[in-house]
C-alpha cells in the first residue's frame, strides 16, 4: 500500500505524540506501532509463543514464508537488532536448532539477515572480532561451523 | 530518471526526488558507506565497530564513532558548506540509531545513502525521514561535519 503525503504527515504527528508519552505508555502501544504493515493474518495462526504468524506446513515452507517476508520488509534496514525485532524473525529463532540448516542455506543469497539468528539459536559465534562485518568471511566461517557440527543441509 | 517502487514505498516523503547511484550490494551498509568503507558492514556489537569506541547500540556510540573519524557536531546544520563533508544520524522513536547519510564536500549539496543492503541513492535529508514500517529510519537526531 502506498502512503500518501497527507498520511505521512499524520504519521509524523502521531510520532510526536508517541514521543511525549511516558516509557510505560510507549511500551503499551509498541505492539501496534511496530506491527508488520498492518498485514492481515490468517485465522489459522501458530500463536503458542505469542507471535501471530501464519501456520504453514511443512516446516520448510513456513520457514521460507517467514524468511521471505523478512527479506522484503527489511531490505533497507542496516541495524541487525531492528531486523531481529521483527516478529517473524523472533518466530524463526523460536524454531531452535531445526532452523539451522535452512539458515545456513540462506547465507548463499541473503547472508546479512541471518547471522544474528544463527548466533541466538546455536549460542555460539565462530566469527572472531577481526572478521566481523566482512560478510564473505562471515559466510565462510559459519558454513565451516555448520559442517563441523553436522548442520549442513542434505 | 530511473524510479524504484521499493524506495518510494519505504520512504513516502522522498516521492520522486532521488537518484539511484549504485546497484544493490550486500557487502556494505549505511554506516560503512558514510564512513567511506564499501567492504564491510559496520554496527556495534554484531558487526565491525572501530576499536576503542563503546560497542553499544545508542546515539552516543555512533557520535563517538564519527568523532574518531574527525567529525564534530554542527548544530543540525544540514546545509552544504564548501570544504566540509557531513554525516546525519537518523534514530527511531525510541532513540536508537537506524541510519546514517553522508553529504560529500565535492557534491551538489544533496545527501547520499546506502539503503541497508539495497542501493545507494542521492536524496534530501527529509526524504528518508518518517516512521512507517520496519524499513523506516525515523528522524535525524544529529549532524556532524569535518573539514576536508
Q: Model confidence at A2, in pLDDT bands (50, 70, 90)? A: very low
Which cell numbers in the block locate residue B17? 526526488
Task: Indicate whether A38 pLDDT > 90.
Answer: no
Dihedral sign from CA coordinates of B36, B38, B43, B45: negative
Residue B106 phi/psi, 5° resolution? -100, 15
Give the pLDDT confidence of B81-125 residue by residue, as tens digits. 999 999 999 999 999 999 999 999 987 889 999 999 999 999 999
Question: How close B112 gets to chain A, by Cα (Å)?
Answer: 14
Rg (CA), chain A: 18
Contact A3/B at CB under 8 A: yes
- How many Cβ pairs closer than 8 A exist between chain A and B? 113
Question: Domain segments of chain A: what residues?
Answer: 1-34, 38-148
The overall average pLDDT reported for chain A is 81
Q: Which residues of B touch A78 (CB under 8 A)?
A: 29-31, 41, 43, 98-99, 114, 116
- Asked if A79 and B98 come within 8 Å (Cβ–Cβ), the reply is yes
Q: Write down the residue that cell numbers 545513502 correspond to.
A: B113
Mean pLDDT, residues A58-87: 94
DSSP states of A6-73: HHHHHHHHHHHHHHTS-HHHHHHHHHHHTSSTT----SSEE-TTS--EE--SSHHHHHHHHHHHHHHH
Report the residue of chain B nearest A112, measured CA to CA: B26
Give the pLDDT confidence of B31-85 residue by residue, as tens digits. 999 999 999 999 999 899 999 999 999 999 999 999 999 999 998 989 999 999 9
Task: Indicate whether A129 pLDDT > 90.
Answer: yes
Mean pLDDT, residues B118-135: 92
Task: Indicate whether A13 pLDDT > 90.
Answer: no
Which pLDDT belongs to residue A41?
Answer: 38
List the single best residue of B38, B46, B49, B87 to mutate versus A (max A Cβ within 10 A). Answer: B46
Task: Indicate whether A5 pLDDT > 80.
Answer: no
Report the residue of chain A nearest B129, measured CA to CA: A12
Q: Which residues of B touch A83 (CB under 8 A)?
A: 134
Q: Which residues of A touch B56 (CB under 8 A)?
A: none
List the single best residue of B6, B101, B134 to mutate versus A (max A Cβ within 10 A). Answer: B134
Contact B93/A at CB under 8 A: yes
Q: Indicate the residue of A37, A76, A116 with minimum beta-carbon distance to B115.
A: A76
Which pLDDT belongs to residue B70?
Answer: 97
Say what the pTM is: 0.82
Task: Indicate whether A1 pLDDT > 50.
Answer: no
Identify any residues that bridge with B85 across adjacent strands, giving them in sequence order.
B146
Task: Indicate whether A43 pLDDT > 60.
Answer: no
Which pLDDT belongs to residue A132?
Answer: 97
Task: Indicate whether A11 pLDDT > 60.
Answer: no
CA dihedral (B46, B47, B50, B52) in degrees, to 10, reads 20
Which pLDDT belongs to residue A8?
Answer: 54
* Listed ranges A27-31, A44-48, A138-142; the one with the highest mean pLDDT: A138-142
Task: Indicate whether A122 pLDDT > 50.
Answer: yes
- Asked if B134 and A77 come within 8 Å (Cβ–Cβ), the reply is yes
Which pLDDT belongs to residue A35?
Answer: 47
- Asked if B47 and A80 come within 8 Å (Cβ–Cβ), the reply is yes
Which pLDDT belongs to residue A44?
Answer: 45
Mean pLDDT, residues A95-121: 97
Question: What is the predicted ipTM?
Answer: 0.91
Q: Indicate the residue of A8, A19, A77 with minimum beta-carbon distance to B130.
A: A8
Q: Model confidence at A57, in pLDDT bands (50, 70, 90)? A: confident
Amino acid at each position: 500500500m502506498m502512503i500518501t503525503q497527507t498520511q505521512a504527515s499524520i504519521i509524523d504527528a502521531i510520532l510526536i505524540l508517541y514521543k511525549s508519552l511516558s516509557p510505560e505508555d510507549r511500551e503499551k502501544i509498541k505492539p501496534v506501532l511496530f506491527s508488520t504493515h498492518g498485514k492481515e493474518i490468517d485465522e489459522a495462526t501458530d500463536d503458542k509463543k505469542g507471535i501471530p504468524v501464519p501456520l504453514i506446513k511443512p516446516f520448510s515452507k513456513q520457514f521460507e514464508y517467514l524468511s521471505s517476508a523478512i527479506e522484503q520488509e527489511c531490505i533497507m534496514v542496516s541495524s541487525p537488532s531492528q531486523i531481529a525485532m521483527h516478529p517473524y524473525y523472533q518466530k524463526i529463532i523460536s524454531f531452535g536448532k531445526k532452523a539451522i540448516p535452512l539458515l545456513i542455506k540462506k547465507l548463499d543469497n541473503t547472508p546479512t539477515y541471518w547471522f544474528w539468528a544463527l548466533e541466538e539459536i546455536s549460542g555460539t559465534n565462530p566469527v572472531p572480532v577481526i572478521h566481523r562485518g566482512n560478510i564473505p568471511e562471515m559466510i565462510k566461517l559459519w558454513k565451516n561451523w555448520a559442517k563441523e557440527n553436522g548442520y549442513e543441509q542434505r | 530518471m530511473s524510479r524504484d517502487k521499493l524506495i518510494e514505498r519505504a520512504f513516502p516523503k522522498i516521492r520522486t526526488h532521488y537518484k539511484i547511484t549504485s546497484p544493490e550490494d550486500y557487502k556494505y551498509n549505511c554506516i560503512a558507506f558514510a564512513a567511506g568503507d564499501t567492504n564491510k558492514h559496520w554496527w556495534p556489537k554484531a558487526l565491525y565497530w572501530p576499536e576503542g569506541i563503546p560497542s553499544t547500540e545508542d546515539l552516543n556510540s555512533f557520535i563517538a564513532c564519527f568523532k574518531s573519524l574527525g567529525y564534530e557536531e554542527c548544530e543540525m546544520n544540514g546545509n552544504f558548506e564548501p570544504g566540509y563533508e557531513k554525516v546525519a544520524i537518523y534514530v527511531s522513536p525510541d532513540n536508537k540509531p537506524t541510519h546514517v547519510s553522508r553529504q560529500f564536500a565535492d557534491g551538489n549539496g544533496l545527501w547520499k545513502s546506502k539503503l541497508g543492503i539495497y542501493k545507494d541513492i542521492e536524496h534530501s535529508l527529509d526524504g528518508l525521514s518518517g516512521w512507517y514500517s520496519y524499513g523506516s529510519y525515523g528522524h535525524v537526531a544529529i549532524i556532524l561535519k569535518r573539514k576536508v
